[in-house]
Structure 1
Amino acid sequence: MHDSTPTAETKTSPWATRFFAIWTGQAFSLLGSSLAQFALVWWLTKTTGSATVLATATLVAILPQVLLGPFAGALVDRWNRRRVMIAADGLVALAAGLLAYLYWANAIQIWHIYAVMLIRSIGGAFHWPAMQASTSLMVPKQQLSRVAGLNQTLHGVMNIISPPAGALALSVFPMHSILAMDVFTALIAISPLLFVTIPQPPRQLADAQAVITPRLLWRDVREGLRFIYGWPGVFALLIMATVINFTLNPAFSLMPILVTKHFSGGALQLGWMNSAWGVGVVAGSLLLSVWGGFRRRILTTLSGLVGMGFGTLLIGLSPASAFGLAVASMFLAGFMNPITNGPVIAILQAVVPPEIQGRVMTVVGSVSAAMSPLGMAIAGPVADALGVRFWFVTGGIICALMGLIAFRVPAVLHIEDDRHTARPAAEATLVAGPLPAAGAAE
C-alpha cells in the first residue's frame, strides 16, 4: 500500500495547501461526529437515565483504542497512511448509515448503539495515528506546535458549536437525519484524501518487503514500547496519565447525569456545560499560540495539569444552586486542556522518528488510557451509589496532585533534555529480535 511521492514534488509543493485540504475535510467530519455524539448521548440519557448505561457506552467506545491501539499504530507505520484514513472514514460513514437506518425503521435498541460505537472506535484506532504520523511528514518541524494548537482550537470550537447545534437538531430533525449528516461529513473528509498525496516515511528494505505476520506485528509493537521505556520522562508521564484517566474519563462521561440529577437541568444546560468546555479550549489554545508557553515546554504542561485538576474539583464541589459556578469551572478545565496536551504532542512529533511515530503514539495513547476501562466499569455503579460528584472531586484532586508532584520528578522536568536516551528505532529493532523471513511486499 504505497503512494508514489516523488521527492521533488514533496519539496516544491506548498505544505499548507496539501495539509489544510486534508485538515478541512477532517474538520467537517469532526462536526458531523460531534453532532451525532451529542444526540446519541442525550438520547441514552433521556431514554434510560442510567449512569451505568452512559458509562458502558463510553467503555465500549474506549476499549478498541486501548486494546487495538499499539497494533493499529504498528500497521499504520507499514501501510499507506492516506489509504488508512480513507478506510477509517469510510467505516465511520458505514456505521452511522446503519444506525440511521435502524432509527428510521424504528428498530433501534441500546445494544445497536453500543455496536456502532464499537465500530466507530475501531476506525478511530487506525485513523488517529495515521493522521498524527502524517502531520509530522507534511508540516515543517517549526510549525508543529502551531498545528497542534490549531487542532486543539478546532476541537474547542466543535465543543462550542456541537452542543447547541445538537440540541437544535434534536428539536428539528429526527435521529436518523442527524446521523445522515454524520455520513455526509465523513464523505467530505474522504474527498481530499482521494487527490492529495501524503509523503511516506523512509523504510528499511526488509520492512518494506516483509510479510506482515503476528510475530512481525508484535516485534513492531515491542519496538514502540522499547522506545518509550528508554525515554524516562515519557515513561513517567504515562504512569501519571494512566492514574489520572482512571478517574477523569469516568467523571466527564457522566456529565449528562450530573446535569440532570444534581443540577436538575436539561439539554440546554448540558449544552452550556459542553460549550463552556469548548470556549475554554479555544481560549487556552489561542493563549498558547500567542504566548508559546514556557521555554521548557513540560513546565507548561504541568501547570495546565494542576489548573485542569482544580477546575474539575470545583465542578464536583458546586452546589445544586450554583450551576453558574459549575459552568465557570468547566471553562477553567477546558482552558487548561490545550495548555496540558499541546506541548506534549509537539514534543512527540518533533522527537520521535517518523517511521515509528504511529506505533509510539498509539502505545502512548493506549497505555495512558489502559485503566480507563476499569474506571468505566465501576463508574456507573459507584455513581449510582455515591453520587456522580464523587468522580469529579476525586479526579480533580488526583489530577492536581499529580501535576504538583511531577514538578519534583527530574525525569519529567528534563523530558526534552533526556530525549537522546530514548532507544532509536534501529537499536530497538535489534533488541526486539530478528525479522521474520522476508516475503512478498505488502
Structure 2
Amino acid sequence: MIAVIGLLGATGLSVAGNAITGIAIPWLVLERTGSPGLAGLLAAAALGPLALSTLFGGALIDRWGRRRLSIVADILSALAVAALPILDSTIGLNTALIAVLVALGALFDGPGMAAREALRPDVARHANVPLERVNAWGEALEGLGNLVAPGLAALFIAIAGATNTLWVTVGMFFGAVLLTRLTVPRDVRHEAPDHYFRSVAEGFKFVWRQPVLRGAGLAAMLLILFIAPISIVLTAQAQSIGSPGLLGLVMTMFAVGGIVGAIVYGAIATKHRRRPVLLWGLVISGAGIMLFASGIPMAVLAALVGVAAAPINPITAVLIQERTPERLRGRVIGSISSLALVAGPIGVSLTGVLLEGAGAGLAFILMGAGCLLAALYSAVALKDIEPRTGLPGIDSSTNDESRTTKEPLTSK
C-alpha cells in the first residue's frame, strides 16, 4: 500500500506544480503586456511540446523503465522552471525567453505524466488493490493538486509576485522525485528490439488498429480542444475585474468537485456500467460550463462540473490499461495522450484571439458546446468499453495482469 500512496502523492505534487506554473506564467505575461492573446500563445507554447514529448516519450518509458523516467522527468521539469526566476533576477525576462523556457519545461512533463500512469497497474498489483480504485484515487490526488494550486498561486502572487511564485513549483517537483524514489518499487524494463522510431510507430499503430483505443484518443482530442483554454478564460476574467480571488475560488471548486466525484466513483466503479457514467459526465460537464455565462454563481457550477467530469479520466485509463500488452504500455499511453494534447495549442491560441475581441461569456458557451460534441462522438465511437476478460493487458475480472504478461516488481 505504501507504493500506491507514494505514487499518488508524487502525482499530486507534480500536478500541483504544473497547475501553479500554469497560473503564474499567464499572470506574469498579462501583468507585463496586458494582452490575453499573448498569454494564450504562451500557454500554447507549453502544450505543443507537451504533445510531442508525450508521443515520443512513450518509447523511452518502455525502454528505460516507468519509475526511472518518472524521476528524471520531474528533475528536468524542476530545473526548467527554476531557470525562469533565476534569469529574471539576472539578465531579465522577455516574452521570447519565457516562451522558450515554458516549452522546455513542458518537454519533460509529458513523459513524466505518462510514466506515472503506466506505473498504476504495477503498484495496484504490488499492493493487491483494484485497478479501478487506484485510477480513481489518482484522479482524486490530481484534483487535490489542483485544489491546492490556485489558492497557493493567488497567495504567493499577491505576496511575492508571479516570478517568485515559481519557486513553489520547483519544490513540488523535487518532492515528487523524493516520494517516487523512496516508495515506488522498480518496474521491469521492456527493452524494445526495434529502432527507436519504429518503437514509437508500433505503439501508435496499435492504438489506431484498436477501435476502442482509437475512439478514446479522438474523443480526448476533441474534449481537450475545447477545455484546455479554461484557465486562460478564467484568468482573463479575474484580472479584468481585478480579483485574483475569483480565479482561485472557481479553480478550487473545480478541484473540490473532482475530488468528491473521484472518491465516489472509486467506491462504486465496479458496480456500475462505464458507458452511461462516461456519457452523462460529458453531458453534465458541457451544460455546466455553458451556464458559466448565465449569471449563476460560478463556484457552484464549477463544483458540479468537477463531480460530473471526475469519472472520465479513470474510465479511459482503465480501458487503456486493460487492452494494452504490458510491453507496449508506455507507448500506448503516450500515443493516446499525445492525440489529446495536440489539440491543446489550437484551442488555447484560438481562445486567446477570441478574448481580444469578445468577452468570456462567448468563450464559456463554446467550451460547453465542445463537451457536448465530445459526448455525441463518444456515444458513437465508444460502445464496447465494459470490462472484458482475455484481453492482452489486464484481466478485468481480477484486476491483475494476465498470465502471459505478469512479471514481478523488484524492490529497491
Q: Aligning the two structures, in what range does the TM-score lie when normalised by the shorter sequence?
A: 0.7 to 0.9
Change beyond 3 A, Cα 1:197–1:32: closer
Which residue, out of 372, 389, 392, partners 1:400? 372
Structure 1 residues 292 and 195: alpha-carbon distance in aligned structure 2, compared to 1, 3 A threshold = closer
The alpha carbon displacement at 1:381 in A equals 1.9
Preserved contact between residue 248 and residue 391 of structure 1 (Cα < 8 Å): no
Structure 1 CA distance, aligned partners of 2:118 and 2:302? 31
Q: Which amino acid aligns with 1:124?
A: D
2-structure distance, mates of 1:193, 1:421: 29
Counterpart residue number, 2:405 = none
Q: CA deviation at 1:289?
A: 2.2
Q: What residue in structure 1 maps to residue 99 of structure 2?
A: 114
How far apart, in 2, do the equivalents of 1:385 and 1:422 lie? 50
2:216 and 2:316 in contact (8 A); partners too: no
- For 1:219 and 1:392, the matched residues in 2 are separated by 41
| 1:387 aligns with one of 347, 354, 359 | 359
Q: SS of the residue aligned with 1:198? A: coil
2:365 alignment partner AA = V
Do the aligned partners of residues 347 and 187 (structure 1) sit closer, same or farther apart at CA in structure 2, a change above 3 Å counting?
same
Task: Tell me the TM-score normalised to structure 1 length.
Answer: 0.80
* Matched letter for residue 414 of structure 1: D
Report matched runs for 1:118-267 at 5 Å: 118-140=103-125, 143-175=130-162, 177-196=164-183, 198-201=185-188, 203=190, 207=191, 210=193, 216-261=195-240, 264-267=241-244
Q: Which runs of 5+ in 1 are unaligned?
A: 1-15, 425-442
Give 2:382's aligned amino acid. Answer: V
Kindly tell me the number of residue pairs found equivalent between the two proteins. 392
Residues 404, 249 of structure 1: CA spacing in aligned structure 2 closer, same or farther, 3 A cutoff?
A: same
Deviation at 1:232, TM superposition (A): 1.4
The 1:286/1:192 distance shift into structure 2, 3 A limit, reads closer
State whether residues 233 and 418 of structure 1, in contact with CA within 8 Å, keep that contact through their aligned partners in structure 2: no
> What's the TM-score, normalizing by structure 2?
0.85
Structure 2: distance between partners of 1:52 and 1:294: 46
Q: What whole-Å deviation, never above 9, does each CA across 1:51-97 have from its counterpart, x for those lacking one?
A: 21221122111111222322110121111322212221111221122
**Alignment partner, residue 382 of structure 2:** 412
Q: 1:49: which partner in 2? A: 34
Residue identity in the other structure for 1:119 = L
Task: State whether residues 85 and 163 of structure 2, in contact with CA within 8 Å, keep that contact through their aligned partners in structure 1.
Answer: yes
SS at match of 1:413: coil
2: distance between equivalents of 1:346 and 1:33? 24
Larger Rg: 1
Tell me the amino acid that sits aligned with residue 158 of structure 2.
Answer: S
User: What displacement does 1:243 show?
Assistant: 2.5
- Are the structure 2 counterparts of residues 182 and 307 from structure 1 closer, same or farther at C-alpha, using a change threshold of 3 Å? same
Shift in alpha-carbon separation, 1:339–1:25, aligned structure 2, 3 A: closer
The corresponding residue for 2:276 is: 299
- Give the 3 Å change call, closer, same or farther, for CA 22–418 of structure 1 in structure 2: closer
Identity, % of aligned positions: 23
Q: Find out whether 1:19 has 2:18 as its counterpart.
A: no
